[in-house]
Copies of this chain bind each other. A is one copy, B any other.
């Protein structure tokens, strides 16, 4: 039985919309957690410091050592939730590509995971970033390709011309 679905994609690739559709179409209740949850949980000062996470004006994101420590514990916690019986959809941005996936794989050893890549044409994602109006301009373009580098998926969806609901149905069909 699939215990965790990990969605990885760049900013404004449409992950959150797919997650909400997944929660609506999957018959069991799934928890939705992810990068945004973790960032909201950080002290305000860490969102703009060398030790924390930094959103540059051009959309580049860098993270410091204190963030890495909290993130590692956060990932362990989500793995523990899955082992304790919650089914969890994780909405992630693998800033480190394959390295990021390895961190999740290690924490989730023994847990049945469906790895999903969420792709979106870079120019289209950049336009949606403007349309959203709540993200630093440039993140979409800078992350569109880099977050997938070296990452291995069970399934990939592309939101460039496919609605979130349709992507969610394709993913749900692969959930055991």
A46 at the binding interface (Cβ < 8 Å): yes
Which of A44, A78, A164 has the largest count of B CB atoms less than 10 A from its CB?
Answer: A44
Give the Cβ gap from A64 to chain B, nearest Cβ, in Å. 10
State how many copies of this chain the complex holds: 4
Interface of A is mostly: helix
Taking a contact as CB atoms closer than 8 A, the residue among B29, B41, B72, B82 that contacts A66 in the complex is B29
Give the Cβ gap from A158 to chain B, nearest Cβ, in Å. 14
0 or 1 for each of A116-127: is its CB under 8 Å from B? (1 = yes):
000000001001
- Bound together, the chains give a CA A31 to CA B52 distance in angstroms of 12
Interface residues in A, total, Cβ within 8 A = 54
Q: Which residues of B contact A30 (CB under 8 A)?
A: 43
- Bound together, the chains give a CA A16 to CA B66 distance in angstroms of 23
Q: Are B66 and A43 in contact (CB under 8 A)?
A: no
Closest to A82 in B: B73
Q: Are B76 and A80 in contact (CB under 8 A)?
A: yes
- Bound together, the chains give a CA A38 to CA B31 distance in angstroms of 8
**Interface residue ranges of A130-171 to B (CB < 8 Å):** 130-133, 137, 161, 163-166
5 A-B pairs with C-beta separation under 8 A: A29-B42, A29-B43, A30-B43, A77-B86, A128-B163
